[in-house]
Amino acid sequence: MDTTIAAISTAYGEAGIGIVRMSGPDSLKVLRKVFVPRVCTAEDAAAFEYEPRHMYFGSAVDAAGSFIDDCLAVYMPGPNSYTGEDVAELQCHGSMVSYKKILAAFLDGGAVPAERGEFTKRAFMNGKMDLAQAEAVIDLIKARSSRSFECAGQQYSGTLSEKVKAIRKELLGELVQLTVNMDYPDEDIEQVVYGKLLNRVSSIDDEVLKLQSSSEEGRIIKEGLKVAIVGKPNVGKSSVLNMLLRADRSIVTDIPGTTRDTIEEQISLRGLTICFVDTAGIHESEDKVESIGIERSKDAFNKADLLLLVLDVAAPLEEEDTELLSMAVGRPAIMIANKQDLVNGQADEGVCVTEEILRKYMAEGESPVFVSARTGEGLEELEDRIESFVTGGRVRKEDDVIVTSARHAALLTKAHEELAQACGMIKAGEAMDFIEVNIRAAFDLLGEITGETAGDEVLTEVFSRFCLGK
Ligand code: GDP
């Protein structure tokens, strides 16, 4: 890359400090034009010897030599830099005016404006990271919950890439073996060859499927779990929502333009983002509640990853309850028997909704959660249930890889289809060169995850999702 790119790396708006940076062969040359270290004169700045990765205090100046801002400067020569190229950064006061003037001075000095994600694209091109790691950078930046940040960090450190590379290595072994078999066919042991091949390819396919099957959890970790609270009027939906909101002691920032458009409330629960969808009905006033009901719930049923179906334990089930319960059968739902405080201590009389009654609406092993939105009773169990819905009750080991990217999940699905097809053909004793086509396709598809086989189109698509300056 022979151009030197420059961009404002800090988000627009007021901040304590901000960073404007450059990458490319002329970074040092341009830095010397724009920055005057306090330890030298303006004339000497043009030849100042920067010690790599040391901070210098001084002033940024424009092309006419006029003062812009007091700054800290750092020069990081390649290849030991983020992009692998020569990088220079100025830290200035966190004002848009300062950022823009410094960027203009960099451009006047010979740099060109960076495109979205171009710093990371260069890091990828220069072999500092593979494509899956580069994609993790944007996930780190966009992470809104501690778990999504952790998953992105894991991917950034290369765990997914290592796994994919290991699978590709095994596939390559099979491709080599197939070529040998095609070149030197041995009629007598053909059955043995097919039998062994089937074992190996199907065990590789299992590994692909295992990765792929983590992607649903990964999607929820990355985007948040979409939860809809449904139930007939007055069962306590709004109160249950408030109970969960009150329990949330973390900060979930509102980021305009993200998936929040249809989401009214958001919490962080045990490091997971929970987005409550379609809560409009819940907040409507009493006289409008009639209009809510089943129609509205249908919509929520379709939008949500998980339903919280609220019932009133102290009132007999009505048609609207049972209709909702029937609609929820076979869907991901947690039944919440609310207003438990009204029936505590009244063994029989007050209790109208029992586990027994609800049994026919629940799958084997499921049970309702008894809560009181008024006293907070049952809150922890409800949180446990929501959490284990996401994790499937699995306790993940440190080195377990979770696929969070829709792009990766789609490639894994396709690779699995190719391998499954290959297995079918092996079983049918088809010719080796036909089987080879599917195995090679799986090999190439997996290479798109790490970028080994990703074309320009894929790269453009991936990096266009980045922010400027990263
Ligand atoms: P929604 O229409 O389903 O959203 O119901 P609300 O949350 O507005 O609650 C309806 C009524 O039930 C209100 O008067 C609440 O104070 C009351 N309520 C909600 N949850 C509880 C609870 O756990 N115990 C008791 N005793 N009352 C509750």
| pLDDT at 383 exceeding the cut of 70 | yes
Q: Which atom of ligand 1 is nearest to the CA of 282?
A: 4
Residue 209 has pLDDT above 80, yes or no: yes
Closest CA to 19 of 11, 28, 10: 10
In angstroms, rounded to a whole number, what is the distance separating the alpha carbons of residues 196 and 52? 55
For the chain, give the percent of residues with pLDDT over 90: 56
Q: Where are the domains of the chain?
A: 5-114, 135-214+402-463, 223-391
Closest ligand 1 atom to Cα of 231: 3
- The confidence band for 119, taking pLDDT boundaries of 50, 70 and 90, is very high
Which ligand 1 atom sits closest to the C-alpha of 289? 2
Residue 203: per-residue pLDDT: 96
Q: In what order do the strands lie in the sheet with 67-76?
A: 35-37, 55-61, 67-76, 87-94, 15-23, 5-8, 112-113
Contact 24, 4 (CB under 8 A): yes
Q: Is the CB of 282 under 6 A from ligand 1?
A: yes
Amino acid at 365: G
Q: Looking at 41-45, 100-104, 108-112, 436-440, which range is the least confident one?
A: 41-45
Ligand 1 pocket member 374 (CB < 6 A): yes
231 in contact with ligand 1, CB cutoff 6 A: yes
Per-residue confidence (pLDDT) for residue 256, from 0 to 100: 36
**H-only helix segments in 271-399:** 280-283, 293-303, 319-328, 355-358, 379-391
Q: Which atom of ligand 1 is nearest to the CA of 232?
A: 3
In the predicted structure, residue 458 carries a pLDDT above the cut 90: no
Confidence at 357, pLDDT banded by 50, 70, 90: confident
Q: What does the pLDDT read at residue 39?
A: 93
Q: What is the pLDDT of residue 331?
A: 87
For ligand 1, the distance from its centroid to the CA atom of residue 340, given in whole angstroms, is 11
Task: Please report the pLDDT score of residue 439 as a whole number.
Answer: 96
Query: Is any ligand 1 atom within 6 A of the Cβ of residue 372?
Result: yes
pLDDT at 21 > cutoff 50 = yes
Sign of the Cα torsion 430, 433, 439, 441 reads negative
Looking at residues 271-297, what average pLDDT do you find? 62
How is residue 441 written in tokens?
A: 């396709």
Pocket test for ligand 1, best of 230, 239, 286, 296 (most atoms within 8 A of CB): 239
- Upper half-sphere CA count for residue 113 (Cβ side, 13 Å): 7
Under the banding of pLDDT at 50, 70 and 90, the label for residue 358 is confident
Q: Which of 234, 313, 369 to mutate to test the pocket of ligand 1 (most atoms within 8 A of CB)?
A: 234
Q: pLDDT confidence of 446, banded at 50, 70, 90?
A: very high
Least reliable range by pLDDT among 114-123, 242-251, 355-364: 242-251
pLDDT value of residue 302:
79
Atom of ligand 1 nearest to the CA of 371: 23
> Of ligand 1's atoms, which has the minimum distance to the CA of residue 239?
7
Q: Is 90 exceeded by the pLDDT of residue 409?
A: yes
- Is the pLDDT score of 104 beyond 90? yes
Mean pLDDT for the stretch of residues 187-216: 87
Q: What is the mean pLDDT of the chain?
A: 87
pLDDT computed for residue 251 by the predictor: 41
| Fold that domain 135-214+402-463 belongs to in CATH | Four Helix Bundle (Hemerythrin (Met), subunit A) (1.20.120)
Ligand 1 atom nearest to 242, measured from its CA: 7
Percent of the chain with pLDDT over 70: 87
Q: Is 237 in the pocket of ligand 1 (CB under 6 A)?
A: yes
The pLDDT score that the predictor gives to residue 327 is 86
pLDDT of residue 263 exceeding 50: no
Question: Which residue puts its alpha carbon closest to atom 10 of ligand 1?
Answer: 234
Whether the CB of 279 sits within 6 Å of ligand 1:
no
CATH fold of 223-391 reads Rossmann fold (3.40.50)
For ligand 1, is residue 235 a contact (CB within 6 Å)?
yes
The CB of 344 under 6 Å from ligand 1? The reply is: no
What is the model's pLDDT at position 434?
92
pTM of the model: 0.79
Which H/E stretch holds residue 147?
Answer: helix 146-156
What is the per-residue burial (b if ≥16 Cβ within 10 Å, else e) of 169-188?
Answer: eebeebeebbeebeeeeeee
Q: Domain spanning 5-114 has what CATH number?
A: 3.30.1360.120
Q: What is the pLDDT of residue 348?
A: 60
Q: Given a cut of 60, is residue 258 above it in pLDDT?
A: no
| pLDDT winner (highest mean) among 315-329, 358-372, 415-429 | 415-429
Going by pLDDT thresholds of 50, 70 and 90, the confidence category of residue 198 is very high
Q: What is the mean pLDDT of residues 390-415?
A: 84
**pLDDT score recorded for residue 296:** 64
At 364 the pLDDT is: 83
Please tell me the predicted confidence (pLDDT) of residue 267. Answer: 86
Cα 295 to middle of ligand 1, angstroms: 22
Range from 275-289, 310-324, 339-353 that averages highest in pLDDT: 310-324
Q: Is the pLDDT of residue 249 over 90?
A: no
Q: Ligand 1 within 6 A of 236 CB?
A: yes
pLDDT at 280 over 70: no
Can you name the residues that pair with 113 across neighbouring β-strands?
A: 6
Hey, how many other C-beta atoms are within 10 angstroms of the C-beta on 360?
A: 10
pLDDT attached to residue 320: 86
Which residue lies with its CA nearest to atom 19 of ligand 1? 236
